[in-house]
Amino acid sequence: MTTMKELLEANRRHGEARRPPETTVALRSSMFGLVNSSIQYETLQEGEAMPTFALPNPTGKIIHSGDLLAAGPVVLNLYRDGWCS
């Protein structure tokens, strides 16, 4: 059975093989900058509740988190952009 760590590593290698080396350098530099900024301590931590929100769905209709939660558990998937797998 393949672990999540193995799948993520394979995905990283696949992405690096498909893009120019200078792009990989820029992405790594950006990642290291974020880690060194300690931003992870200013974000939600495991077990913390997410603040309420209202976001457009794929058709543009505004969806409120409270309405979703009233119907049951919610999984939120954020896409950075079309380039992001």
Structure tokens at 64: 């409120």
pLDDT band at 64 (very low <50, low <70, confident <90, very high): very high
Distance CA 84, CA 2 (A): 22
Report yes or no on 66 lying in a domain. yes
**Domain count of the fold of the chain:** 1
Q: What is the model's pTM?
A: 0.45
pLDDT, tens digit, for every residue of 16-60? 899 999 998 998 899 899 889 988 888 888 888 889 999 888 899
More confident residue, 1 or 65: 65
pLDDT (0 to 100) of residue 39: 87
Contact 65, 54 (CB under 8 A): yes
Report yes or no on 79 lying in a domain. no
pLDDT (0 to 100) of residue 77: 78
Report yes or no on 55 lying in a domain. yes
* Domain coverage including residue 44: 4-71
Report yes or no on 18 lying in a domain. yes
pLDDT (0 to 100) of residue 72: 94
Report yes or no on 78 lying in a domain. no
Report yes or no on 80 lying in a domain. no
